Amino acid sequence: MERMLVVVCDSETKAYEGTSALRQLEREGSISIFAGAVVVKRADGTVSVKSFDDEEPVGTLTGTAVGSLIGLLGGPVGVAVGALSGLTFGALYDIDTARVGEDFIDDVSTSLTPNKVAIVAEIDEEWTTPVDARMEALGGVVFRRALWDVREQVDDEEIKAMKADLAQFKNEVAKAHGERRAKLQKKLDQLQARIESQQKKATARHEAFVARQKAKRTILRKNATAVGQALNELANTPL
């Protein structure tokens, strides 16, 4: 099952020990990691984002569930990131892309107090014990939530509703005259522009989702291969 995993730690040292443990669990075949970052909550409330590891630059988190969750954890104060990361607060702050409920965000935010550090990762896991055991051994507080995929349906409903309004405006414009007609035409043009903008966003989100799913399948195949090799080596190891 695909889940959002957040582990709140007391220090960066513990957080990076946690990321190493997660990578080890991935090599063992217990989980697959799709995206991740280490998040530091500064004393002033800002959130600093650091790479999960060298394999995944921070900038690649833009538009992902992990990236959006990080933006939401930044709260009203905002997100402080490296100048070269390519990651901006505006690009991150998206409750729909985060694909988790507001209650989950509230729980994590309550735990991630100033000077604490969190591991944020999108993972696939069949059972929770391996991750919990490793993270709790480091003193980490674990939060997880299954991810949803409802954005495309929401987009369709929003566009459908706006098109219904557009049809009504067109009907009224056809019957109106003078100043009233001009006002209605202006509203019609604005709504048409909003629909076109929403359609472009929906297309971009869908394309990003398809690309992400393709990348995830690649990761899962790679992980399955690693597990097969490990089992083969185990089977051929003399007792």
Contact (Cβ atoms closer than 8 angstroms) between residue 66 and residue 49: no
Please give the Cα distance from 125 to 104 (Å, whole number): 18
pLDDT at 53 over 90: no
CA-wise closest residue to 35 among 76, 79, 66, 81:
66
Q: Strands, DSSP E only, in the chain?
A: 2-9, 31-41, 47-51, 79-80, 117-125, 141-146
pLDDT tens, position by position, 64-120: 777 778 877 775 434 444 433 444 444 444 555 666 777 788 888 899 999 999 999
Contact (Cβ atoms closer than 8 angstroms) between residue 87 and residue 58: yes
Q: In what order do the strands lie in the sheet containing 31-41? A: 79-80, 47-51, 31-41, 117-125, 2-9, 141-146
pLDDT tens, position by position, 141-153: 999 888 765 455 6
The overall pTM is greater than 0.85: no
